[in-house]
Homo-oligomer: A and B are copies of this chain.
Amino acid sequence: MTRNPTISEVAKASGVGRATVARTLGGYGYVSEATRKRVLTVADDLGYRPNRLAQSMSTGSTRTIGLVIADVSNPFFGDVVRGASDTAMANGFDTLLVSTYEDVGSEVAAVKLLVDKRVDGIILSTAVRGMDDIGHLQIAEQHSIPIVLLDRSVPRVQFDSVIINNRESVRNSISALISHGHTRIGYAWGPPVAERPRWQSGLSDAARNDLWTDGERMMGYLDALAGEGIELDIDLVMLGEKNEEHAAAEVSRMLGLADPPTAFFCTETEALTGTLSAIREASLSIPKDVSIMGFDDSSWAAVFEPPISMIKQPTRELGVRASNLLLERINGIAEDPRIEELETEVIWRSSIGRPLHVEK
């Protein structure tokens, strides 16, 4: 009848000491079978529920991991979260989720909060780029809370990371487009304008290495062009805001060029829908007039008319791996930081053809 029976109420009600109750309920130490039974039934009758907060206070472990990502409502992250939290849960951990919307300030606040809540570890898809401050990562480290980086690494520091072979997969796909005869390939979307000097020519690979997912993909595009001796035409790269509307506008712009693209490579789902929208608007047909290739396979891509070729990421697996790395760290398996690079898979469908007017 009391509202939140504690361990000592159970003790009182069953006529034993608190420690005995703690032992039976905790399943450790010696307890006579008789009293064990009794305590158990009494606890059940009283509706006893252990207070995990108090447990955490004395054990120093919350059995909770923090998951900091850009945006849960983005299908990519939705799948990542699923993989990560399922794996965590299967190991007795639950997950505190925070979305940062690519805002470094929010990320810093989130990590601090998670540290304060004493999570046992953090999986982080960081918003940090280039030379941004990483004090929050150090705070976690200082509290010996392990961090695993997901989808985006921070080359300056060594953390366990799980990433995708972005650069290589884009390079290969673009090369394939080129071997189909395309030389004018529109690209939606590119990295932030602020990073432009970094991926454009004149930088060492080492400097370029401190790039993000989008930077990596852009590098793949550049690699492929360079490999085939095609010069970069910056007019074919979408810069600026990253949303469907802007993608549509930029693709429209490109289609209006004197020498328009005969193919488009889209690095995200929204970039793809924006592109498709612009192509639709221009009454062009795929793949007769333009070829299309996207990133992140979705079920609708297969039923689209025509079905769209996609680079498919092992999205859920990304989360699973991150959780596993984190759990190993939490369990004190202290090796050197590991970086796992997962492979993408290209799903060829009929959205790719030969350009109408092959350049001489």
Contact = CB atoms under 8 A, between A and B. Distances in A.
Q: What is the predominant secondary structure among interface residues of chain A facing chain B?
A: helix
Contact of A75 (B73, B97, B143): B73
A142 B46 CA distance: 11
Interface string A53-95: 1101100001010010001111101110110011001000011
Contacts of A143: 3-4, 49
Contact of A316 (B73, B98, B299): B73
Interface stretch (A34-42, A115-123, A176-184): A115-123
Interface in A136-166: 139, 142-144
Contacts of A129: none
B302 A304 contact: no
Chain A, interface residues (CB within 8 Å), range: 35 or more
26 contacts: A49-B115, A49-B116, A49-B139, A49-B143, A52-B113, A53-B62, A53-B117, A53-B118, A72-B81, A72-B85, A73-B75, A73-B81, A82-B99, A85-B97, A85-B98, A94-B97, A94-B98, A94-B113, A94-B117, A96-B96, A96-B97, A244-B299, A270-B299, A273-B299, A276-B300, A304-B305
Interface of A: 3-4, 47, 49-54, 56-57, 62, 64, 67, 71-75, 77-79, 81-82, 85-86, 89, 94-99, 112-113, 115-118, 139, 142-144, 244, 269-270, 273, 276-277, 280, 298-300, 302-305, 316
